[in-house]
């Protein structure tokens, strides 16, 4: 009986020794006296902030031991990709065990101290929305508030938080690819840190634009020359306007539109045409003069034209075409 007891005790000791030698990694919770049996001790906290796109064991763990070469080797073991700034990624104790075990050289034992779940985030800081809003407002004011246009920003839609690496100074660059329509404009916001592009975002801004503009006091039919009584200047909402409008009455009076103009609707630039001083087929006087003489002959304008414009004129006395400059609605000056 005593021999059987000694045999069982020896088997138990042998099994325990084999278990220790064959299983190199152990979970947390083992006492300090037991830690002396391990080549390395790896400690990972519950939350970790990283700075690189790829997370290695050395980024999240404290590795202690006497074998410096093995420590440096384990520091380079890939764990996972880092999450996007502002987001979190979770890794499990089991997953870390498996990764370390696959990379650990034979004959080494490692103890891993870590919670069941480790949360990894990027070391970053959020750019305050007040800062972003101010940048956008400054950009919009520089874009629209000229020639007397007034801007009222109604809403800036930033759908999510925007981050920059913790040690970087954020630089925000704003641009746009299209004009505003119905008081809405989409902006492209790029965030740079340490002279590198960090992220790109699409931001919607809603606004109201008002400007002094010329509007008809009544409906004006097409082809009719506009007079001072036909128009007035007032403050109007131009958020829905698809182009610049006239703001000075003197730029409108004396011109005509090729289409009918509606009362109280802003008159767009380019929608009016100047009234020719001389019309094609009009009878004119062709004048050639110098300091000692002046010759006047009758003529017929061969094309319409404006003040100081050179047009073709038929000399009815000689039946020849000459070129002259319009002086007024009845006189054409020619040089000789």
Query: DSSP state, 67?
Result: -
Q: Would you state the structure tokens that stand for residue 324, as one six-digit string?
A: 């002259």
Digit-by-digit pLDDT tens for the chain (336 residues) are: 444 444 455 544 444 444 433 445 444 433 344 445 778 899 999 999 998 889 999 999 999 998 899 999 999 999 999 998 888 999 999 999 899 988 888 888 888 899 999 999 988 888 999 999 999 999 999 888 876 788 999 999 988 889 888 888 889 999 987 777 788 999 999 999 888 898 999 999 999 988 889 999 999 998 888 999 999 999 988 887 667 888 899 999 988 888 899 999 889 888 898 888 899 999 999 999 888 888 999 999 999 998 889 999 999 999 999 999 999 989 999 986
Q: How many secondary structure helices (H) and strands (E) does the chain include?
A: 6, 23
Integer angstrom CA distances of residue 123 from 54, 82, 84: 13, 10, 10
pLDDT tens for residues 235-281? 988 887 667 888 899 999 988 888 899 999 889 888 898 888 899 99
- Please give the class, per CATH, of domain 283-333: mainly beta
Alpha-helical (H) ranges within 55-165 are 57-60, 68-75, 93-103, 129-144
DSSP single-letter state for residue 336: -
Look at residue 91 and give its three-state secondary structure.
strand
Residue ranges covered by each domain of the chain: 19-122, 126-208, 210-274, 283-333
The domain made up of 19-122 has a fold known as: eubacterium ventriosum atcc fold (2.60.480)
How far is the CA of 302 from the CAs of 20, 315, 322, 329, in angstroms? Answer: 112, 10, 10, 14
Q: What is the pLDDT of residues 20-69, one digit of tens each?
A: 334 454 444 333 444 457 788 999 999 999 988 899 999 999 999 988 99
- Report the CATH fold assignment for 210-274: Type Iii Antifreeze Protein Isoform Hplc 12 (3.90.1210)
3-class DSSP state of 5:
helix
d(CA 11, CA 119): 43
The sign of the CA dihedral 272, 275, 276, 279 is: positive
The reported pTM is 0.57
Classified by CATH at the fold level, domain 126-208 comes out as Thiol Ester Dehydrase; Chain A (3.10.129)
Within its chain, how far is the Cα of 295 from the centroid? 67
Please state the φ and ψ torsions of residue 17, each to the nearest 5 degrees: -65, -45
């Amino acid at each position: 009986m005593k021999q059987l007891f000694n045999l069982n005790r020896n088997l138990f000791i042998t099994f325990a020794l084999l278990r220790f030698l064959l299983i190199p990694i152990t979970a947390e919770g083992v006492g300090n006296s037991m830690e002396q049996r391990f080549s390395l001790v790896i400690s990972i906290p519950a939350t970790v902030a990283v700075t690189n796109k790829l997370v290695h064991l050395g980024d999240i763990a404290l590795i202690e031991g006497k074998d410096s070469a093995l420590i440096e080797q384990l520091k380079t073991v890939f764990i996972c990709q880092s999450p996007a700034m502002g987001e979190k990624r979770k890794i499990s104790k089991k997953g870390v065990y498996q990764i370390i075990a696959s990379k650990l050289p034979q004959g080494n034992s490692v103890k891993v101290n870590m919670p069941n779940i480790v949360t990894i985030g990027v070391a970053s800081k959020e750019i305050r929305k007040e800062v972003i809003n101010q940048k956008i407002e400054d950009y919009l004011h520089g874009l629209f508030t000229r020639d007397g246009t007034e801007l009222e920003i109604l809403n800036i839609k930033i759908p999510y938080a925007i981050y920059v690496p913790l040690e970087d100074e954020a630089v925000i660059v704003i641009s746009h690819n299209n004009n505003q329509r119905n008081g809405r404009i989409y902006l492209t916001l790029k965030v740079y840190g340490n002279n590198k592009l960090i992220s790109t975002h699409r931001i919607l801004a809603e606004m109201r634009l008002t400007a002094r503009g010329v509007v008809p006091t009544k409906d004006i039919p097409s082809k009719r020359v506009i007079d001072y009584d036909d128009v007035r200047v007032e403050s109007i909402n131009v958020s829905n306007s698809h182009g610049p409008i006239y703001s000075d009455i003197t730029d409108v009076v004396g011109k005509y539109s090729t289409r009918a103009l509606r009362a109280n609707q802003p008159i767009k630039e380019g929608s009016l045409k100047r009234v020719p001083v001389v019309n094609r087929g009009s009878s004119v006087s062709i004048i050639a003069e110098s300091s000692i003489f002046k010759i006047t002959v009758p003529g017929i304008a061969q094309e319409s034209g404006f003040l100081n414009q050179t047009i073709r004129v038929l000399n009815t006395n000689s039946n020849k075409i000459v070129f002259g400059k319009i002086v007024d609605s009845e006189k054409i000056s020619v040089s000789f």
